Amino acid sequence: MTKLGVVGGGTMGSGIVQIAAQQGMNVVLWDVRRDVVEASVTRIRGFLERNVERGRMRAADVDATLARITATTDFAAMADVDCVIEAAVEDLAVKQDVFRNLDQHCQPRAVLATNTSSLSVTEIAAATGRPEAVVGMHFFNPVPLMALVEVVRAGQTSVDTVDRALGVARELGKTPVRAEDTPGFIVNRIVRPFYNEALRILNDGQAPLETIDRIMKGHGFRMGPFELMDLIGNDVNLAVTATIFDQLFGEPRFRPSFQQRRVVQSGYLGQKTGHGWYPYGGVGGQATGVRDSGTTDTAASQQIRTTCVVIADSAAGGDLARALAVGGHDVRLYMADGAPFDAGPVRIVHSLADAVDGADLVVDALTSPVDRKRELLRRADAVLLPGRAIISLALTISSTEIASWCGDPTRVCGFGYLPPVADAKVIEIAPALQTGERATGAAVALAASLGKEPVVVGDGAGLIAARVVALIANEAAQALMEGIATADDIDTAVRLGANYPHGPLEWADLVGLDLLYAIIKGMQEEFGEDRYRPSPLLRKMVAAGWTGRSVGRGFHRYEA
């Protein structure tokens, strides 16, 4: 491709023009207003000069790059472009009018691309006389820094147009992924639970927003959901959620939050207004006065070394036992049903009663079905000495229900983290309604002994991190089932477009599809809402035994 057209001199359009010119392409920049195109070129010059100051390009290259840009308000200048990318305001009528003009002025072989993030590419294409030449090319902001482009095939788009759009993206130095024209495409759809479920957790009073952000960052996310909503703009974030919800005819998984609407109505749009979920030190400033009420400050002084029993039924539970042994505990591991495990330094005890006899603490790491978990905990409770704590993994069922199974429910406290334990910087401590202070203290001390930060949260299936990540993975599984994109493209898109530590499907394989499925079923049982229904594909893969990396096959295949 030798010549690119860009419609729209705003932030996205300017970014696309800049990278194209830097890649050596001749670029035509069009906007309806002369002052807008002039401001766009000025903005690009500023970015380039800052690159010179930072040693990223030579001063001589600034003028050469700008010389490749033609700024205009005349659509006729698009007559000989090989591809044009529309980056006008996110309004269907405006975009359709732009494409009618492009249809009239562009050469027959030109690729007509839209940078829309939430509108139907199919509906935009229908405004032209050559819908087969129309394709989505969704860039991410800031364009010069973000590697991803979603190439979106409308219902009418030809294979040749898609292939050429993929080539344009690569020539621009980007990593393209293919997506079908569905609401939110890949990234905006799959990341909705990161925001929506955090808002739901806040609404339910399970944790304050500072704690939610802290926990998510403790599991590898660069920013917490509320920090990120403030950066994006609460108005923008709410609008995307509402658009996807409406386009999917009220699908409950995407129901917007009334709390976020109230924040927007209050004018608290985020960093750009100086106040969002957090107050900021002026427009665009840093958050001020932020306090995390969920963090436990006394953990270090309460660290203990115990004889502790770990009851497990998975490799993740065995990994926890190993980590406790490294942390200085005398660990006895009871693998339920004799499940095989390479214990390393951990002593395996084949009788639950023998394992629990004389122990200081029981750590329940079971992900078994509820009936099996209940039976094993009741047996352990019957042997454990009075006053000794039971710390129970409470991801698939509430701590309160687990505590109700035991003779002394005050000694039961829930905990949770997203496996593998080595990757988690935070462990959530979830006291049951019945939990006493001594059991909560034991759970906090246990987490601290692992070198993790203990954070106390409210009781509820999935807790915080696992709940959010399970629903992101579930949405990715649903997108895969619907043929929106391949597993590889879904993972690449979310890693690059949202800066997640893992793609959602490879993350699911790492955690274990069986555990994620059990977490989602637990939430469905607790809340009784269709919002928490598991993807049929996830359910079938668990039934097939394709539960992830540990067995060699999940959403991806792994060598033994």
Question: What are the residue numbers of the active site?
Answer: 117, 138, 150, 188
What separation in angstroms does the CA of 102 have from each of 96, 185, 229?
10, 24, 35
Query: Are 119 and 90 spatial neighbours (Cβ–Cβ below 8 Å)?
Result: yes
Query: Are 230 and 284 spatial neighbours (Cβ–Cβ below 8 Å)?
Result: no
Closest CA to 507 of 472, 467, 461, 542: 472
For residue 154 the two structure tokens come to: 């409308």
Closest CA to 90 of 170, 12, 178: 12
Segments in 34-91 forming alpha helices (H): 34-53, 59-67
Q: Is the dihedral of CA 401, 406, 412, 415 positive or negative?
A: negative
Query: Are 306 and 313 spatial neighbours (Cβ–Cβ below 8 Å)?
Result: no
Query: Are 446 and 362 spatial neighbours (Cβ–Cβ below 8 Å)?
Result: no
Query: Are 181 and 174 spatial neighbours (Cβ–Cβ below 8 Å)?
Result: no
Count the helices and strands in the chain (H runs, E runs): 22, 16
What residues form DSSP beta bridges with 347?
A: 332
| Range 174-190 burial, b when 16+ CB lie within 10 A, else e | bbbbbbbbbbbbbbbbb
Q: Report the C-alpha gap between 208 and 314 in whole angstroms.
A: 32
Angular region, 397: left φ>0, alpha ψ -120 to 50, beta rest: beta
Q: Report the C-alpha gap between 346 and 175 in whole angstroms.
A: 45
Q: Report the C-alpha gap between 341 and 243 in whole angstroms.
A: 48
Say which residue the tokens 């390393």 belong to. 344
DSSP 429: E
Angular region, 458: left φ>0, alpha ψ -120 to 50, beta rest: beta
Strands 3-7 and 83-86: what pairing? parallel
Query: Are 393 and 424 spatial neighbours (Cβ–Cβ below 8 Å)?
Result: no
Closest CA to 3 of 99, 77, 114: 77
Measure the CA angle with vertex 504, ends 501 and 510; round to 5°. Answer: 80
Strands 111-114 and 83-86: what pairing? parallel
Neighbouring residues of 312: CB distance < 8 A, sequence distance ≥ 6: 318, 320, 321, 333, 334, 335, 336, 339, 341, 365, 366
Query: Are 487 and 205 spatial neighbours (Cβ–Cβ below 8 Å)?
Result: no
